[in-house]
Structure 1
Amino acid sequence: MAFPIHQGVSFSSSTPQWDYDVFLSFRGEDTRNGFTGHLYQALCDNGINTFIDNDLQRGEEISVELVKAIKSSMISIIIFSQNYAFSSWCLEELVEILNCKQNGQLVLPVFYKVDPSKVRKQEGKFKLAMAKHENKFKNNTEKVQRWRAALNEAASLSGWHYEDGYVSNN
């Protein structure tokens, strides 16, 4: 997988700006032991310093360490899978990643066995996930609206669509 060079990011040879080259955002139960695990290994094997959340405690809110890792990464790769939007953790991560995009971070989506338009329009499982969140967070509709906007924005970015061994640019 070749990564395009983002013209807005500048590098300083004296002081590195980033702790990580790549931050991986994914739904663990969907892809950790398959696609994401292989991607992580391939990145590391090629000398790309990659953050993966193997040792972080799970909960409703993303941890301070995770926010720090997102902010200190040059590139974020978002791996959208069937159940990605069911995780409030993933959705909070996505919002943080898109905030960092505003500051020059390169954001690359991978649509793992999901149609990018289903993510963008929140159809199918993404519709079910957002309905679940609307019910759960009925006293915090702004949070769910942020998540909806983030899904739409991220799914509108140019990325890769993976379907059963075949990868295409979208």
Structure 2
Amino acid sequence: MAASENAGFASSSSSSSASSYEVFLSFCGKDTRTTFTDHLYHALLDAGIYTFRDNEELRMGETIGPELITAIEQSRISIPIFSKNYASSKWCLIEITKILECKNTMGQVVLPIFYNIEPSAVRNQTGSYAKAFKEHQNCYGDPTMQKWKEALRKVGSLKGWHSNNIAGG
């Protein structure tokens, strides 16, 4: 984002009291926390964009679930970083479902990144996503599983960035 665009973005967000964060990052920690997500997080901060990332924003002793849901609801933009193990994380699936809800009800902007995974694997839950859902089947009922699949299908259908098409990616 150019500096002039960022200045307008930051000033417009400061006038909105409904949003505490400009950006919420949703990612599978074991895939991208110390690599891609870390670089993206610091680039956003360096650009003056107030960004939620769980290890910086969640405090010791706080309940994780409500804090994450509140952070998503209070963000203007969500960036899900879909990676190989994203669907294997119950929390990622809860987050993506809430992100879709916020997109539909509050007009939240959703900018997906497909990190070393094909967008079709996210949309159609194939490959590692199919395997993850097979493992989830024993722990979660059909209504929950269907909500998660629908969220992945819809958010995975949005225009986003693919790491194979990013310079250096």
- Sort the TM-score into its range (normalised by shorter chain): 0.7 to 0.9
Matched, 1:135 2:138: yes
Matched, 1:83 2:82: no
Query: 1:62–1:93: 8 Å Cα contact kept in structure 2?
Result: no
More helix by share: 2
Cα offset for 1:17?
2.6
Change (3 A) 1:107 1:15: closer
Cα offset for 1:73?
0.3
Cα offset for 1:113?
0.3
Cα offset for 1:167?
1.6
Change (3 A) 1:12 1:32: closer
Change (3 A) 1:46 1:127: same
Change (3 A) 1:21 1:130: same
Superposed structure 1 runs of 4+ greater than 2 Å apart: 11-17
1:127 maps to amino acid: A
More strand by share: 1
Listed as ranges, the gaps of 5+ residues in structure 2 are 6-11
Q: Tell me which residue corresponds to 1:167.
A: 166
Cα offset for 1:63?
1.1
Cα offset for 1:136?
2.2
Q: Tell me which residue corresponds to 1:39.
A: 40
Q: Tell me which residue corresponds to 1:150.
A: 151
Cα offset for 1:27?
0.2
2:145 maps to amino acid: V
Aligned counterpart in structure 2 of residue 94 of structure 1, from 88, 93, 96:
96
Render the CA deviation track for 1:21-71: whole Å, top value 9, x for unaligned: 1000000110000000000000000100000000548xxx96111111000
Structure 2 CA distance for aligned equivalents of residues 70 and 91 of structure 1? 13
Listed as ranges, the gaps of 5+ residues in structure 1 are 5-10
Tell me, what secondary structure is at the counterpart of 2:54? coil
Pairs aligned (count): 154
**% identical equivalent positions:** 51
Query: 1:62–1:92: 8 Å Cα contact kept in structure 2?
Result: no
Query: 2:13–2:22: 8 Å Cα contact kept in structure 1?
Result: no
For the aligned residues, what is the CA RMSD?
2.2
Matched, 1:115 2:118: yes
Q: Tell me which residue corresponds to 2:8.
A: none
2:135 maps to amino acid: K
